[in-house]
Amino acid sequence: MKSDSNAPVTQELEKLGLNPDAMPVHVAMIMDGNGRWAKKRVMNRTKGHEKGTETVRQIVKACRELGISYLTLYAFSTENWARPKAEVKALMALLKRFLVGEREEMGKNAIRLNILGQIERLPDDVRQEAVTTINQTRGNRGMTLNLALSYGSREEITQAAKVIARKVKAGALDPENITDETISSHLYTGGMPDPDLIIRTSGEFRLSNFMMWQAAYAELAITDTLWPDFSRDELITILTDFQKRDRRFGKVTCSTSNDGSPQ
């Protein structure tokens, strides 16, 4: 396991039946279903987002305790700006409250905050709190928490292509030397490992413009559970299933049949 796990973490994982050496390094989550959760309870959609924020806190804590090195949460997409203004305003207020309220906890738990997306599009007060939290947690090495805000994978790849094109035009980069690694290094996640596992709640079977480049060989887990009801126990169940999968990355299994031929 490529994290700063220690003996207590290893003991906790073994107690849960998880193999410490087969844990995903990077887990990404598409947090879906806040609105439907509220609708089922005849509540305003904002109540669903509020409950969803509580789930965020629980899952961040759980991932830290389980030794996950990188956790990426799809919190607000570029398309979400088209939602009703009142809902967007409420979401931004919840985000600001989270950034301020969780700052101390991030420090105590050695969690480093990072923002993936168009941080410049966030309201000034929210952006300022985001920058403050990023700066205050910069030295933390226990876990990196990525919040994907005003994030869209197509926009991310487009911006990376523009930067690379400018380097080629300036003569700083030979087009023949452009590789997968070149593109990866120019994405918001440059320098981070790609996600090993992407979890989507609410039963939808799509990526919704989320980490389309980075998801090339990620394992996918879809649960019908709406995000506000997602729990640590369900996360552990998904991690247990993840550890049973045969990740071949396009290759064939190395096992052989009785006659010695590849299977």
- Euclidean distance between CA atoms 161 and 174, whole angstroms: 14
pLDDT at 8: 86
List the chain domain ranges.
25-242
The residue type of 1 is: M
Q: Are strands 197-200 and 143-151 parallel, antiparallel or unpaired?
A: unpaired
SS3 38: helix
Beta-carbon contacts of residue 21 (< 8 Å; ≥ 6 apart): 1
Q: Is 32 a catalytic residue?
A: yes
Res. 80: pLDDT tops 80 = yes
Q: Is 233 a catalytic residue?
A: no
pLDDT at 44: 95
For 25-242, the fitting CATH number among 3.40.1180.10, 2.60.40.10, 3.30.160.60, 3.90.1150.10 is: 3.40.1180.10
What mean pLDDT, rounded, does the chain reach? 94
Q: Which residue is catalytic, options 4, 6, 21, 32?
A: 32
Q: How confident is the model at residue 247 (pLDDT cuts 50, 70, 90)?
A: confident
Query: Nearest-5° angle of CA 124, CA 55, CA 70?
Result: 75
DSSP state, residue 203: T
SS3 10: helix
Q: Which residue is catalytic, options 44, 80, 140, 209?
A: 80
